[in-house]
């Protein structure tokens, strides 16, 4: 004996299809929102961690920096003396004046633009082994151009070590939406007077729907700012 099984009615099928499409639509929407939220979350996490890293490194440099020798929006030069503070305090030319390239006393920080137009924050330090013994020291100068030409000379001679502090950067977005290149900030452009250093930049990532950005501004005071005797004579 066969038993015939009643199929779905047209109304049931239509209702089921309708409900299925509504549910599918909302689930797809949620998944999309989920994906976008995770992308934003990732960028923020990365910005927090990388921003804290840059802030920490700049803070450490500010702690050790005696003076900022050269200041421009995309490149600054820090002088981190290697002699002890008690020796520095004598004001003796031989100890205080001399900047020893072999002792990691000069640190250039530079924002460089890459081919994809994003910016990278670079730290340049001298490679001690490559500097000829006759050129291992230099004397203090408050002339920024002197330091710029030394930088070019050392960089072109491949005597500088390049370390990347942060990449994928852009400039900060100001109120109104206009963006500018990333830049260093300081209290005053005078080498003899400046007692702070900082930077303004933004971390940028693209999640496929458009760029996501997180601006950051870090600034630190030079903890042991110590003016060179020449500054008092100027």
Partner 1 sequence: MTLIECLVAMALVVVAAAIMSSAVRDGLAAQEDALALTLGGTAAESRVAEYLAKPYASIAAADATENVGAMTTPQGGAFSESYSRFGRRTIVSERSLTVPDFPGLSIPGYLIQVTVSDLWDGTERKIVALQRFRPRTIEDEIAAAAAGTP
| Residues found near partner 1 in the complex (CB under 8 A) | 8, 12, 15-16, 19-20, 23, 26-27, 30-31, 33-34, 37-38, 40-41, 44-45, 47-48, 51-52, 55, 172-175, 177, 185, 187, 194-196, 198, 200, 202, 214-222, 225
Of residues 127 and 195, the one with the C-beta less far from partner 1:
195
Residues 6+ apart with CB under 8 A from 167: 114, 118, 119, 120, 121
CA distances from 45 to 52, 88, 162, 213, 223 (A): 11, 42, 26, 12, 30
> In whole angstroms, how close is the CB of 190 to partner 1 at the nearest point?
12
Residues 6+ apart with CB under 8 A from 192: 67, 142, 227, 228, 230, 231, 234
d(CA 117, CA 194): 31
**Are the beta carbons of 216 and 121 closer than 8 angstroms?**
no
Of residues 29 and 153, the one with the C-beta less far from partner 1:
29
> In whole angstroms, how close is the CB of 107 to partner 1 at the nearest point?
19
> In whole angstroms, how close is the CB of 51 to partner 1 at the nearest point?
6
> In whole angstroms, how close is the CB of 99 to partner 1 at the nearest point?
22
Of residues 167 and 196, the one with the C-beta less far from partner 1:
196
Of residues 55 and 125, the one with the C-beta less far from partner 1:
55
> In whole angstroms, how close is the CB of 46 to partner 1 at the nearest point?
10
CA distances from 47 to 51, 71, 168 (A): 5, 26, 11
Q: What is the total residue count of the chain?
A: 234
> In whole angstroms, how close is the CB of 13 to partner 1 at the nearest point?
9
Of residues 13 and 152, the one with the C-beta less far from partner 1:
13
Of residues 137 and 220, the one with the C-beta less far from partner 1:
220
DSSP state of 224: T
**Are the beta carbons of 76 and 62 closer than 8 angstroms?**
no
**Are the beta carbons of 182 and 199 closer than 8 angstroms?**
yes
């Amino acid at each position: 004996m066969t038993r015939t099984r009643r199929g779905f009615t047209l109304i049931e099928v239509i209702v089921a299809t309708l409900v299925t499409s509504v549910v599918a639509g909302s689930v797809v929407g949620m998944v999309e929102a989920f994906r976008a939220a995770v992308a934003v979350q990732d960028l923020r996490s990365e910005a927090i961690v990388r921003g804290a890293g840059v802030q920490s490194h700049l803070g450490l440099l500010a702690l050790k920096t005696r003076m900022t020798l050269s200041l421009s929006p995309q490149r600054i030069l820090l002088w981190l003396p290697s002699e002890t503070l008690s020796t520095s305090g004598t004001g003796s030319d031989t100890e205080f004046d001399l900047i020893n390239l072999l002792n990691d006393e000069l640190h250039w920080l530079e924002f460089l633009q890459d081919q994809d137009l994003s910016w990278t924050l670079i730290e340049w330090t001298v490679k001690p082994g490559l500097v000829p013994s006759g050129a291992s020291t230099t004397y203090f100068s408050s002339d920024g151009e002197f330091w710029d030409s030394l930088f070019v000379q050392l960089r072109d001679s491949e005597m500088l070590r390049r370390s990347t502090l942060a990449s994928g950067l852009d400039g900060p977005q100001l109120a109104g939406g206009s963006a500018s290149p990333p830049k260093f900030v300081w209290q005053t452009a005078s080498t003899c007077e400046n007692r702070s250093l900082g930077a303004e930049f933004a971390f940028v990532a693209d999640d496929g729907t458009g760029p996501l950005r997180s601006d950051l501004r870090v600034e630190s005071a030079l903890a042991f700012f110590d003016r060179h005797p020449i500054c008092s004579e100027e």
